[in-house]
Structure formats: C-alpha cells, structure tokens
Amino acid sequence: MKSGPSMTPDVIKPSLTIRLCGPRGFCAGVDRAIQIVVLALKAYGAPVYVRHEIVHNRYVVEGLEAKGAVFVEELDEIPAEHRAQPVVFSAHGVPKSVPADATARNLFYLDATCPLVSKVHKQAMRHQRLGRHVILIGHAGHPEVIGTMGQLPEGSVSLVETVEDASVWEPPVDPDNLGFVTQTTLSVDDTAGVIARLQERFPALQAPAADSICYATTNRQEAVKQAAPGCDLFIVVGAPNSSNSKRLVEVALKAGAKRSLLVQRASELDWDEIGTIGTLGLSAGASAPEVIVDEIIAAFKERFDATVDLAITTEENEHFLVNRELRSLELTVADMAFVNGDQAPPPRV
C-alpha cells in the first residue's frame, strides 16, 4: 500500500462519507461459474481444468488455483493422463467449436457459460435461422464476443463497436434483412446510441426478443449513476480486462464523479493521489468479490473517519442452477469464504 494521509492513531482523521452502491459485485452468472469449479473440485478432486479465466478477476482465479483448479488457454494443454478430470468452460461462453473439440478429445466438460449469455447465443442463432445477417454490438477480442460470433457460420455475423462503426458499416446482404444482438456487459447508454444509429440507417433492423445487456450490468450502472453525482472520487473494484467494471468507471465520470478509478486490491491505492476527499463512491464489477470491497473500506477507515452510507437502487434475487452433475453436492459458507467472507452463499433454487 502506498503512503499518504497519516495512519498514526492520535492524529484526527479527516471525515469521509462512503456511498456504497447496491447492487454491486458478483452477479448470478459469476457466482454460478465459481460454484461450478468449487463443486467440481469436491466431486472429482484436483485437478479441475478451467479454459480461460473463469471470470475476469485475478483474485478469484488465484483462490481457485489454491483449491486445485488449473487454468489453461486451450484444451490441448490438458495432459493425456488427466483427460478423465473435468474441464470447465468460463462464464463468458465459448464458440461451438470448443465443446466439439472437447468431445473429439474425449474430455469431460462442464459448461459454466452464464445462462444470460446462452440466451444471447440463442437470439443470434434465431436471427440467422430466419435468414438475417447478424450484427453483434460488442468489443472486439472479448471472450464473450468470440463465443457469440462462434455460434454462427462464418460470414453471417458482423461486429460493430461504436456509433462511428455504425455510421460506416455496410451490410454484406439485403439491408432489409438484418438483426442485432449485443454483448451482455456494455454501457446501456452508449449501446442505445449505437442501436439508434443502426436503426436510422436500416429501418427494418430486427431487435432480439429481449434486451441482451443483462440485468446485472443494467442494475450496477444505474446504482453508480445515482451515487456518483457530487463524489470527489469514485472507486470501482474490478479487473482491467473486466468489461462491465470498466463501464462502471465511465458511468461514474459521466454521472458527475470528479474522478473515477478501477482498483483490483487495496494495496494499489495511491494515498497521495487520493488526497483529502469528502465523499467517496464505491462499487464493484460483476466479477469482483465482496471481500475486496471490505478490504477497500477497511483501508479508507484506517486513514479517514469514514461513515458508510448504502446507496441501494434495487434488490436482486437472481440465482442460476449449477450443472445437473453437481446439484446434489453441498456448498458451504467455508467453500465460498475466499470470495464471500462469512456471507452465506445465495440459495440454490
């Protein structure tokens, strides 16, 4: 942790209000994906292989590694002698070629794709089945985008990232025969701009049956929007490769926070740069564990006379079932303590 305001106990600490956003942190899809790896370790023993980061958070990955998970980039990294051990696919989803490859290699896989990502896959496939060229609004190179594009035959899907892209993109087919879906973790407001531009150019453009941006992304952005005005600083707990966390940083700035930072651990906080502040906004991306939020609050309480005000915009009650093979296993508070602290895991309905 870097230096800054004094930690000496007899110095009067400056007062600070922390606006703690709710909802924040783990969404139902991330929670489910982590549970799948934890339960697979219980059921089959170590090692359990995981293709890509299960969710975009280093702390989560290291916590699972400590329990016996082994992260690989591709299936050919799994040693032949471990082929009977399960391999888990990440919450972001995978192209169709990945489960096909796993089957061809005789691997036992557990798919941790978030059900809301799978829903976007189905919506994209529906457009394609109806003969439409699919526009995917999202960020190039993101695993979810790779997974969604990989549901469709080559040439039947185009990626559009920005309003500028939407203004110049030329359809390879009849412009009256287009449908769109989006990545689940985009900025709600920016995406509305991209869709509006596409609809302006292609009035027959077909929307998906339901919004692709998921409830967790929408709720976390709305909570930040409400809490950010008047904040001297807004901190989002999350990883630099987490799309939804980066969007929260942008939303905080747009909504009126003077400064906004993405932070992975309290040890990254630069207290000289933070300086003396009166109001701190605090949220966490959908892949950021609550134990890190607690760690950040504790670090501020060491240096400030801090009061935590909850800024809750809505309650969330979404929970997703784990894979059938794992449902009968017990998941304890201790199993998930590395990310949730002493909070009970959500009900497994």
* Binding positions for ligand SF4, rule: CB under 6 A: 27-30, 91, 114, 116-117, 184-185, 214, 216-217, 244, 286
Distance CA 31, CA 322 (A): 10
Identify the DSSP state of 264: S
Residue closer to ligand SF4, measured from CB, 215 or 271: 215
List, in sequence order, every residue forming a beta bridge with 179; answer none if it has no partner.
Answer: 134, 206
Q: How far is the CB of 184 from ligand SF4 (least distance, A)?
A: 4
Pick between residue 117 and residue 266 the one whose CB is nearest to ligand SF4.
117
Helices (H) and strands (E) in the chain, counts: 12, 12
The secondary structure element, H or E, covering residue 318 is none
d(CA 66, CA 48): 12
Residue 211 C-beta: closest distance to ligand SF4, Å: 11
Shorter beta-carbon distance to ligand SF4: residue 114 or 178: 114
Alpha helices of the chain — where are they, by DSSP H? Answer: 28-44, 58-67, 97-104, 115-129, 143-149, 163-168, 188-201, 215-227, 243-254, 271-274, 290-303, 333-340
Nearest residue to ligand SF4, using CB? 29
d(CA 30, CA 40): 15
- Any catalytic annotation for residue 53? no
Decide whether 16 or 112 has the Cβ nearer to ligand SF4.
112
Angle at Cα 290 formed by Cα 87 and Cα 47, nearest 5°?
Answer: 20
Burial class (CB in 10 A: 0-12, 13-18, 19+), 271: middle
Minimum Å gap between C-beta 247 and ligand SF4 is 11
Contact call for residues 111 and 323 (beta carbons, < 8 A): yes
Closest approach of ligand SF4 to the CB of residue 232, in Å: 28
Q: Which whole-number Å values give the CA distances from 53 to 65, 202, 281, 320, in the listed order?
A: 11, 37, 28, 20
By C-beta, is 27 or 94 nearer to ligand SF4? 27
Q: Of 53, 144, 161, 295, which residue is the catalytic one?
A: 144
Residue 298 CB, nearest approach to ligand SF4 (Å) = 26
Closer of 41 and 114 to ligand SF4 (Cβ): 114
Cα–Cα distance measured from residue 250 to residue 260, given in angstroms and rounded to the nearest whole number: 8
Least distance from C-beta 244 to ligand SF4, angstroms? Answer: 6
Question: How many Å apart are CA 256 and CA 253, to the nearest integer?
Answer: 5
**Residues classed as catalytic:** 144
